[in-house]
Amino acid sequence: MRRRSDRVPPHRPSAVARRNLALWERIAREYEVRNARALRRADGAAWGVWRIPERQLRLLDDVRGRDVLELGCGSAGWSIALARRGARVVGLDFSPSRLAQARQRMRRAGVEFPLVEASAEGIPYPKARFDLVLSDYGATTFADPNRVVPEVARVLRPQGVFVFAHASPFRTVAQDLRADRLGRRLIHDYFRTRVIRDLSDPSVEFQLPYGEWVELFVACGLAIERLVEPRAAANARSSYVSTADARWARHWPSEMIWKVRKLPAPAPRKIGR
Ligand SMILES: C[S@@+](CC[C@H](N)C(=O)[O-])C[C@H]1O[C@@H](n2cnc3c(N)ncnc32)[C@H](O)[C@@H]1O
């Protein structure tokens, strides 16, 4: 029987989630085809636009027997890789088309785990359900961090870990949205960096200044363990970015990967003597 605290109220996706869902439904096929090689790098266990293998970055603890949630799993490359390592995985994405791709990849890989169609703004699981939540440019990029990070903190067990790859604030302030390229000037107001609109599309991405990321983690009871700022290798190529942007990323971090850990619940305070 479900305890009262286990009940999760049904969630209505925000207007932003509905707009971004329309984008992902439209581009799901093209995205999967264009990035097919990148998505299979290191058998799916690779981070960010440079696809740096997890075995090199070592961000994850041992996942054997752990409950893992991938937020915005897309075709579930990460989830498949972690299931193969013995994790009990759930892949969550709001896009039916992307989940269909995940099902296909799972069949090919001979791996089974639940796939959940939901928005990360309201994770349909009770509190303290997972040991690890990860997102590789997944829902944390496309949903407001002020809604997603508290949700992640809620579903994590004490000592559980949240690892996610995201564009860096450097990239955000230097991105010329009209020309769709990164430049050497700071174009956008760093302090007003919140919602990034692609000018050719009604979809949006999110960003926070570094200090606000830190404040948000602290407010949610998440302690920072690592902030990795991958540098593009010389002559790096990526199906996600142009060659010019790859050159830019030799000099400034184009992305960041946070690892934060949920603090244990404070011991109950004794009242009186
Ligand atoms: C750039 S892809 C990254 C996914 C995966 N790492 C990959 O490369 O296939 C972003 C994914 O996040 C999903 N997504 C975006 N916003 C979401 C939200 N609010 N809730 C759940 N999934 C979301 C999209 O449907 C898409 O599959």
| Interval 144-185: pLDDT, tens | 999 999 999 999 999 999 999 999 999 999 999 888 899 999
Tell whether the model's pLDDT for residue 1 goes beyond 50: no
Model confidence band, residue 202 (pLDDT cutoffs 50, 70, 90): confident
More confident residue, 258 or 9: 258
pLDDT value of position 265:
79
Q: What is the 3-state secondary structure (H, E, C) of the chain?
A: CCCHHHCCCCCCCCHHHHHHHHHHHHHHHHHHHHCHHHHHHHHHCEECCCCEEHHHHCCCCCCCCCEEEEECCCCCHHHHHHHHCCCEEEEEECCHHHHHHHHHHHHHHCCCCCEEECCCCCCCCCCCCEEEEEEECCHHHHCCHHHHHHHHHHHEEEEEEEEEEEECHHHHHHEECCCCEECCCCCCCHHHCCEEECCCCCCEEECCCHHHHHHHHHHCCEEEEEEECCCCCCCCCECCECHHHHHHCCCCCCEEEEEEEECCCCCCCCCCC
Is the CB of residue 138 below 6 angstroms from any atom belonging to ligand 1? yes
With a 6 A CB cut-off, is 139 part of the ligand 1 pocket? yes
- Verify whether ligand 1 is closer than 6 Å to residue 142 (CB atom): yes
Q: Is the CB of 236 under 6 A from ligand 1?
A: no
Residue nearest to atom 6 of ligand 1 (CA): 136
- 48 within ligand 1 shell (Cβ under 6 A): no
Question: Could you give the domains of the chain?
Answer: 11-262 (3.40.50.150)
Q: Is the CB of 137 under 6 A from ligand 1?
A: yes
pLDDT at position 236 is 86
- Report whether pLDDT(13) > 90: no
pLDDT higher than 50, residue 9: yes
State the distance from the centre of ligand 1 to the C-alpha of 111, rounded, in angstroms. 20
